[in-house]
Amino acid sequence: MTTHPDVRPATRAVDTYLERIGYRGDVTPGVDVLRALHRAHLATVPFENLDVHLGAVVPLDRAAILDKVVARRRGGYCFELNTAFGALLEALGFEVSLACAAIGPRDAEEPLWGNHMALLVRVDGGTWVADVGMGQGFVEPLPLRPGPHDRAGFDFEVARDDHWWVGLHRFGRLPGYLLREEPHELEWFEPHHQRQSTDPESSFVRRLLAQRPHDDHVLTLVGTKLFSNGPAGGTEVPVETAEEFAAVLAERFDVPVADVDTDRLFRFASAPTT
């Protein structure tokens, strides 16, 4: 991943990004700073696929993605969010690479490589998996070394077979993802970004989704149902009106609803599925 002109150290763009995620702490590259930035990003920038259903998907271009995430204060999914966060980290002096991943079972015979993007960050003599584009993922990065990781009842696992495996907790809908360690250029992910956002068989095209991981639960909006799941239990709440739908997006996922056609989104979300 090469340094680009959109985000550089000691520029207004960096300050604007840090303001976007509400971060006012130290920015000296180190594991503790990486953890704090990762946590701040997830707390303020939601995982969501709203633009897929508004016909407004941005190209897989750093400038366009940074405009969406930072200037327009929107969320996105893995290709967008990890591209943006990786740009910020690199601008601050971290060594970052884009990593190709395949969401699915650990023993998949034909992994769907490219259906997910994560980040590998090398800092303080180690490598860390950073992923602000996984809606049900880890709040803080995981070290890229085999072992379990218990985060307040959320159990994660990093393992190594033919490829790395990042196992997710049991309170979500996905088991985890396989991960390749070699770096990839952003352009490599373009066809996968297009497929995820346009293919009628893509789960992103078939359903509206917003997610946010917290320390003690994962909040998920699927269509017109709002779920909260974690070690303490789970809840399911129907979202019954367009007004409630807009309020959930604004209050639970920090979506700037004044700039989004929430009525159109609600009509799609509440339509019968086939």
Give the pLDDT band of residue 274 (cuts 50, 70, 90): low
* pLDDT at residue 4 in the model: 38
Kindly tell me the number of DSSP H helices and DSSP E strands found in the chain.
8, 13
Residue 3 has pLDDT above 80, yes or no: no
**Which is more confidently placed, 13 or 249?**
249
* pLDDT at residue 172 in the model: 86
* pLDDT at residue 206 in the model: 96
Digit-coded pLDDT (tens) for 217-242: 999 999 999 999 999 999 999 999 99
How large a percentage of the chain has pLDDT more than 90?
Answer: 91
Residue 101 has pLDDT above 70, yes or no: yes
Among the listed residues 38, 116, 169, 217, the single catalytic one is: 116
Residue 5 has pLDDT above 70, yes or no: no
What are the residue boundaries of the structural domains of the chain, listed by start?
Answer: 12-193, 201-270
What residue spans of 171-261 are helical by DSSP H? 190-198, 203-206, 242-253
Tokens of 167: 């196992």
Digit-coded pLDDT (tens) for 69-99: 999 999 999 999 999 999 999 999 999 999 9
* pLDDT at residue 10 in the model: 53
Digit-coded pLDDT (tens) for 22-41: 999 999 999 999 999 999 99
Residue 15 has pLDDT above 70, yes or no: yes
Residue 52 has pLDDT above 80, yes or no: yes
The answer to whether residue 78 is catalytic is yes
* pLDDT at residue 153 in the model: 86
* pLDDT at residue 12 in the model: 86
Architecture of domain 12-193: 2-Layer Sandwich (3.30)
The answer to whether residue 107 is catalytic is no
Residue 1 has pLDDT above 60, yes or no: no
Q: Which CATH superfamily is domain 201-270 in?
A: Arylamine N-acetyltransferase (3.30.2140.10)
Please give the single-letter amino acid code of residue 265: L
* pLDDT at residue 252 in the model: 98
Among the listed residues 78, 100, 193, 217, the single catalytic one is: 78
pLDDT averaged over every residue in the chain: 94
d(CA 18, CA 107): 39
Q: Can you list the pairs that 12-20 forms with residues at least 24 positions away whose Cβ atoms lie under 8 Å? A: 13/66, 13/70, 13/91, 14/88, 14/91, 14/92, 16/70, 16/71, 17/66, 17/70, 17/84, 17/88, 18/88, 20/44, 20/45, 20/69, 20/70, 20/73
The answer to whether residue 116 is catalytic is yes
Identical fold for domains 12-193 and 201-270, yes or no, is yes
Cβ neighbors of 217 (< 8 A, separation 6 or more) are 171, 228, 229, 230, 232
d(CA 172, CA 117): 18
Digit-coded pLDDT (tens) for 175-208: 999 999 999 999 999 999 999 999 999 999 999 9
Digit-coded pLDDT (tens) for 105-139: 999 999 999 999 999 999 999 999 999 999 999 99
* pLDDT at residue 152 in the model: 81
Cβ neighbors of 80 (< 8 A, separation 6 or more) are 58, 60, 65, 68, 69, 133
Among the listed residues 38, 53, 100, 131, the single catalytic one is: 131
Planar angle of CA 20, 23, 27, nearest 5 degrees: 120
* pLDDT at residue 229 in the model: 95
Q: Which helix (H) or strand (E) holds 14?
A: helix 12-20
